Chains A and B, each alone.
Chain A
Amino acid sequence: MAAPMALRRGLFSLTRILGGIAHSVPRALGACSANKTCNIIRSRLPLASSTYFHTATVFSSQPSSITVTKEPDALFQRVSLLVKGHDKSVLDSYELFATMAAKELGIAISKVCELPKDTERFTLLKSVHIFKNHRVQYEMRTHYRFIELSHLTGSTAQVYLEYVQRNLPEGVAMEVTKTAMEKVPDHILKPMWEEDPIDNKLSQG
């Protein structure tokens, strides 16, 4: 189990480096309302000096202990992530982050696609009392991103998923589906008629 151990140690140092960058990207997007016009306006206005109050960090994570087991590692044929969010640009940047992380770790990415958005609309009465003819319509849009990784080991999948989930931006949800591969049981490896040909001939005759 030397290879997974080395992989995990390397990955945790990678986590600390990339965590800072990944934190800043979604946070900046969230603060600037994910729109280019906001940035332009802020640069035009003569903003007076601003000060930041330094408060304690909540997101400091301790690296989990490395476990060595003699059991064979689980193999996954496919690990698919479905990421949902309200803001398409946040999902774009998250997709870039996840694909970059997978490439750095050497994980094969088989599919990255954008599923069509879902819109939930409802119509309510505009007024508190009567006025049935005047209504208000609201809608909630959910955008999706689908990332599929293929042929992973269990420990790689665990590390990658933990890294990617710790850096999920706010307002974004993720669903993970893993397809595991199991060894074919011995008793169905070969067909029965190949094993005992004499018995078959006797039964036919």
Chain B
Amino acid sequence: MAASLSSTASARLLSSLRSGSLSRGLHVTAARCKNRAARVRVGKGDRPLTYEEALPPHHIAHRKGWLSQHTGNLRGEEGTAERTVEDVFVRRFIFGTFHGCLANELVIKRRGNVLVVCALMLQKLQPQKFYFLIGYSETMLSHLYKCPVKLEVQTLQDKAVYKYL
């Protein structure tokens, strides 16, 4: 990790300084290991971000909602790993089927046996092609997971921009 190497290099420099004339107590900790998960770093101000992308993960349940809603993560409930793996597969499948058309992350909900996938799409394709792809993905996913799968699609002209970073 580049961050760690630079910190050890700085530690060596500072220790050599300390052994010389300066007798300051320097506390060298690698404070540069910042969290980078699901965060977009600030840039020039030309990169458009949706609300979902702009907020970091510690805002979930405060300013953000959940992208995948199931009971696997509740106390006393089973099936966490299975739901997570299904979610990942469904996201990749839909991303590939509607290539370049997704405006935002998918919202996956499970009500009883039914898997409901809510997607925001851009109006890039003809409506007939959209209908075909929706039917295709619904049938394929329901055959794969042996449960009724419903795809709820809303389309937009452009992505809904919340911030520019």
Residues of A participating in the B interface, judged by any CB pair closer than 8 Å: 30-35, 37-38, 41-42, 45, 47-53, 55, 58-59, 84-87, 118, 120, 126-127, 131, 133-134, 136, 140-142, 166, 168-173
What separation, in Å, do the CA atoms of A157 and B130 have in the docked complex? 44
Given contacts A166-B112, A170-B110, A171-B66, 12 further A-B contacts (CB under 8 A): A31-B107, A37-B63, A41-B51, A53-B131, A53-B154, A55-B150, A58-B150, A59-B114, A120-B75, A136-B37, A170-B70, A171-B69
In the complex, are the beta carbons of B157 and A49 less than 8 A apart? yes
* A168 contacts across to B, CB distance below 8 A: 111-112
Instruction: Please report whether the interface of chain A is mostly helix, strand, loop or mixed according to DSSP.
Output: loop
* B131 contacts across to A, CB distance below 8 A: 53
In the complex, are the beta carbons of B152 and A50 less than 8 A apart? no
Q: Which B residue's beta carbon lies closest to that of A88?
A: B61
Q: Mark B141-165, 1 if CB is under 8 A from A, else 0.
A: 0000000101111111110111000
What separation, in Å, do the CA atoms of A142 and B61 have in the docked complex? 12
Question: Which residues of B in the span 67-95 have a Cβ within 8 Å of any Cβ on A?
Answer: 69-71, 73-77
What separation, in Å, do the CA atoms of A118 and B75 have in the docked complex? 8
* B152 contacts across to A, CB distance below 8 A: 53, 55
What separation, in Å, do the CA atoms of A50 and B130 have in the docked complex? 14
In the complex, are the beta carbons of A51 and B4 less than 8 A apart? no
Total A-B pairs, Cβ < 8 A:
110
Q: List 8 A-B contacts (CB under 8 A).
A: A30-B107, A38-B63, A41-B51, A84-B76, A87-B61, A140-B73, A170-B116, A172-B71
Question: Which residues of B in the span 94-150 have a Cβ within 8 Å of any Cβ on A?
Answer: 107, 109-112, 114, 116, 118, 123, 127, 130-131, 134, 138, 148, 150
Shortest CB-to-CB span from A129 to chain B, Å, is 9
In the complex, are the beta carbons of B51 and A38 less than 8 A apart? yes
What separation, in Å, do the CA atoms of A94 and B30 have in the docked complex? 47
Asked if B21 is at the interface (CB within 8 A of a chain A CB), the reply is no
Bin the interface of chain B by size. 35 or more
What separation, in Å, do the CA atoms of A118 and B77 have in the docked complex? 13
Shortest CB-to-CB span from A164 to chain B, Å, is 13
Known contacts A142-B75, A170-B69, A170-B111; A50/B64 CB under 8 A: no
Asked if B5 is at the interface (CB within 8 A of a chain A CB), the reply is no
In the complex, are the beta carbons of B65 and A47 less than 8 A apart? no
What separation, in Å, do the CA atoms of A58 and B138 have in the docked complex? 12
Q: Which B residue's beta carbon lies closest to that of A120?
A: B75
* B107 contacts across to A, CB distance below 8 A: 30-31
Shortest CB-to-CB span from B59 to chain A, Å, is 10
* A42 contacts across to B, CB distance below 8 A: 160
What separation, in Å, do the CA atoms of A45 and B61 have in the docked complex? 22
